[in-house]
Amino acid sequence: MVKAIVLRAAGINCDVETQHALELSGAAAERIHVNRIIEKPDLLEEFQILVIPGGFSYGDDVAAGKILANQIIHHLADRLNEFVESGKIVLGICNGFQVLVKTGILGKVEPNGKQQLTITNNDSGKFEDRWVYLEPSSKKCIFIEQGRRIYLPIAHGEGKVVFENDDVFEKIKSDDRIAFRYVDENGNFGPFPINPNGSTDSIAGLCDPTGRVMGLMPHPERFVRFTQHPHWTRLSVKGETLLNGGKDKSQAPLGTRHQRCLTAVEGGLSLTGQADGRTIFDNAVKYARKSL
């Protein structure tokens, strides 16, 4: 069975949901504190997937994700590099994305170079908590279902991806490392609130050159069941809505994009397909099962 670590640290607060998402996708997931891995780094050898979940590690003091990133740099850098080089999978969600960038795993252009991009304060100057549409971009990223625009929640104050200079951005772009971009429901780019933080090129997520390490600001673990969708009671099911058992037609359908998740069965409703966030975990587990 595929085994996954969900990294814990002071201030991480999405670890339980992330463990649940991995288990729904068929992995045996275990939440392990970073101090335990520092004490026994050989633990990493037992696992195929490492996820750094969302939250506010160490209170986001100094900068979001910086202290946890420093712990990893000074105590686990070699082991984490070995983990990736052995073909294994790493996912960073929100604070975890910030950590991966500030460790250099996603923040470098050259393998032995310096950090050349970061994630900083939202242009709005405040915490943004909303649902956003994401368009997949990278063809190499193993977490992505190609051609599927997804809808996920964000919750962050520091989500703006910025680069040291234009050359760094162009290198990341030409290397097919932009995993997701913020778009509207029709796939169009735009300013706030479509791009909720002012991120360069509407970047919502990045991957490494292998496609097996990805970080993203939105939270896929918060949408692994259809009923977690904010409008699930108003979504169309063969011309009807879910409200009042699918009999209330007073609410206008929101379109056909979500109909693939629903099927009418003898006047009732059966949820089929997968919520958008679930696909990211499914793809990671499927890849690990096939390749590791």
| Buried b or exposed e, range 176-214, using 16+ CB within 10 angstroms | ebbbbbbbeeeeeeeeeeebbbbbbbbbbbbbbeebbbb
Same domain, 198 and 231: no
Question: In this structure, are residues 128 and 197 in contact, taking their beta carbons and an 8 Å threshold?
Answer: yes
SS3 160: strand
Structure tokens at 268: 């009732």
State the pLDDT at residue 235: 64
Same domain, 116 and 241: no
Looking at 156, 219, 229, 258, which residue is catalytic? Answer: 219
Same domain, 280 and 244: no
SS3 39: helix
The DSSP code sequence of 77-135 is HHHHHHHHHTT-EEEEETHHHHHHHHHTTTT-SSTTS---EEEE--TTSS-EEEEEEEE
Looking at the structure of the chain, the number of domains it has is: 2
Looking at 221, 240, 258, 261, which residue is catalytic? Answer: 221
Question: Whole-angstrom Cα distance, residue 129 to residue 156?
Answer: 7
CATH number of the domain residue 129 falls in:
3.40.50.880
Q: Is 74 one of the catalytic residues? A: no
Q: Is 94 one of the catalytic residues? A: yes
State the pLDDT at residue 234: 72
Question: Whole-angstrom Cα distance, residue 100 to residue 106?
Answer: 6
Looking at 14, 94, 141, 261, which residue is catalytic? Answer: 94
Same domain, 46 and 98: yes
Same domain, 16 and 70: yes
Q: Is 135 one of the catalytic residues? A: no
Same domain, 17 and 133: yes
Same domain, 232 and 126: no
pLDDT tens, the chain, 292 aa long? 999 999 999 999 999 999 999 999 999 999 999 999 999 999 999 999 999 999 999 999 999 999 999 999 999 999 999 999 999 999 999 999 999 999 999 999 887 789 999 999 999 999 999 999 999 999 999 999 999 999 999 999 999 999 999 999 999 999 999 999 999 999 999 999 999 999 999 999 999 999 999 999 999 999 998 889 888 777 655 444 444 444 444 443 444 444 444 443 333 334 455 789 999 999 999 999 999 9
pTM, entire model? 0.90
Structure tokens at 19: 């463990």
Domain, as residue range, for 40: 3-223+275-291
